[in-house]
Copies of this chain bind each other. A is one copy, B any other.
Amino acid sequence: MIVVLKPLATQEMIERMARRVEELGLKAHVIVGTERTVIAAIGDKRNGEKETLEACAEVDQVLPILAPYKVASRETKPEPTIIELGLFAAGGPNIGIIAGPCSVESEEQIMETARLVKQAGATALRGGAFKPRTSPYAFQGLKEVGLQLLAAAREETGLIVVTEVMSPQDVDLVAAYADVLQIGARNMQNYNLLQAVGETRKAVLLKRGMAATIDEFLLAAEYILDQGNQNVMLCERGVRTFESHTRFTLPLASVPYLHQKTHLPVIIDPSHGTGHAPLVAPMCTAAVAAGCDGLIIEVHPDPSKAMSDGPQSLTPGAFADAMAQCRKVAAALDRQLH
């Protein structure tokens, strides 16, 4: 950390702050500049020392040098983490494709979707059984029945099952059916939930909060990793900005940036990232071209009948077309979908 002192800091103030830095277990190195004095605080500390120093009256600001996360960092583990589950693989040359409806609505709906997305190239099935909905008046999901239908679809198609868990007390139940536990964007900083999924050894798909910085995103992953669960996939699903023509703003530069900073695989969600079906296919190919490790895409047999997220759901035909384009782009860049 670099502790920048206030202008006109006296020698006494400088010494007091240097002592404070040392009390925190860091080595203090004073540098007197032309306009400001700074203290370099040397050492590997991530327990709130920055805040503590910032709260001192002598201090103008504290600039961190090290990333606040550690286990998630590529400096800690340079080789990429690869998640492999049955047909599904993400993190190496393979691009994992997760597709399916926003919500599991009925046996017919989920079975039909599973068959069609499998045929078009998906290797995992998504579908919500526990649904976090903005309005209390909206459809809240089929709960355990939904999980059973997902398991039945896996049985028939071989697709692995990705589904959301919303609350710590539901983790065991959802884990009994799912292959990948999804943490939704609204729960990215629900720390009890992160710890609960961290205690399982199930793979986790962690969605970025809609206003989370990349550091906060990786610290949320760190909560899971810190419990000993190393099977974490990061999902960029768009951030909230002043843009209103798309549901969220999808920053694909997160893909190469995250690849620089972390060994965890990066999955893109172009459905939530845009909110409009006609924009999904171009963002699928763009995400593949940006180097993503996987895609998660909403597909519904009839979007105009969907109980949630219809406007951003692809028809099975549109999904198949998008996958065909993705396969071409992946091949051009020496990668593959399956």
Q: Please report A residues at the B interface, Cβ cutoff 8 Å.
A: 2, 4, 7, 20, 29, 31, 33-36, 38, 40, 42-44, 46-48, 51-52, 54-57, 63, 65-66, 68-69, 75, 132-139, 166-169, 186-187, 189-193, 209-211, 213-214, 216, 219, 222-223, 226, 239-246, 249-253, 255-257, 260, 273-274, 276-279, 282-283, 285-291, 303-311, 313, 325, 328-329, 331-333
Copies of this chain present: 4
A331 to B289 alpha-carbon distance, docked (Å): 13
A253 to B241, Cβ gap below 8 A? no
B290 lies within 8 A of A282 (CB): yes
Query: Which of A168, A190, A278 is the most central at the interface, judged by chain B CB atoms within 10 Å of its CB?
Result: A190
| Set B63, B137, B209, B331: member contacting A2, Cβ < 8 A | B63
Q: List 15 A-B contacts (CB under 8 A).
A: A2-B63, A47-B137, A51-B310, A55-B277, A68-B134, A166-B190, A166-B192, A213-B245, A214-B245, A250-B253, A252-B282, A252-B283, A256-B279, A256-B282, A331-B332
- In the bound complex, do residue A54 and residue B239 qualify as a contact, i.e. CB atoms below 8 Å apart? no
Q: Which residues of B lie under 8 Å from residue A29 when comparing CB positions?
A: 31
Q: Which residues of B contact A169 (CB under 8 A)?
A: 168-169
Complex alpha-carbon distance, A328 and B335, angstroms: 13
Q: Which residues of B contact A20 (CB under 8 A)?
A: 304
A264 CB → nearest B CB, Å: 15
Given contacts A251-B250, A252-B250, A282-B289, contact A138 B47 (CB under 8 A): yes
Contacts A54-B311, A55-B313; is A191 near B253 (CB within 8 Å)?
A: no
Q: Do B52 and A44 have beta carbons less than 8 Å apart? A: no
A191 to B165, CA, bound (A): 12
Contact B306 A52 (CB under 8 A): yes
| Chain B residue, CB-CB nearest to A250 | B253
Residues of B contacting A329 in the complex (Cβ-Cβ under 8 angstroms): 289, 329, 332-333
Q: How far is the CA of A335 from the CA of B114 in the complex (A)?
A: 33
Contact (Cβ within 8 A) A4 B65 = yes
Q: B36, A65: Cβ atoms under 8 Å?
A: yes
Q: Which residues of B contact A311 (CB under 8 A)?
A: 51, 54-55
Chain B, residue nearest A140 (CB):
B191
The distance from the CB of A11 to the nearest CB of chain B, in whole angstroms, is: 18
Q: Verify A308–B48 contact, CB threshold 8 A.
A: yes
- Is the CB–CB distance between A35 and B241 below 8 Å? no
* Given contacts A55-B310, A190-B187, A285-B333, A240 and B242 within 8 Å (CB-CB): yes
A239 to B249, CA, bound (A): 10
Contact A245:B257 (CB < 8 A) given known A132-B191, A135-B68: yes
Query: Which among A52, A136, A310 has the greatest number of chain B C-beta atoms within 10 A?
Result: A136
Closest Cβ of chain B: how far from A54's Cβ, in Å? 4
Docked pose: A187 CA to B31 CA in angstroms: 40
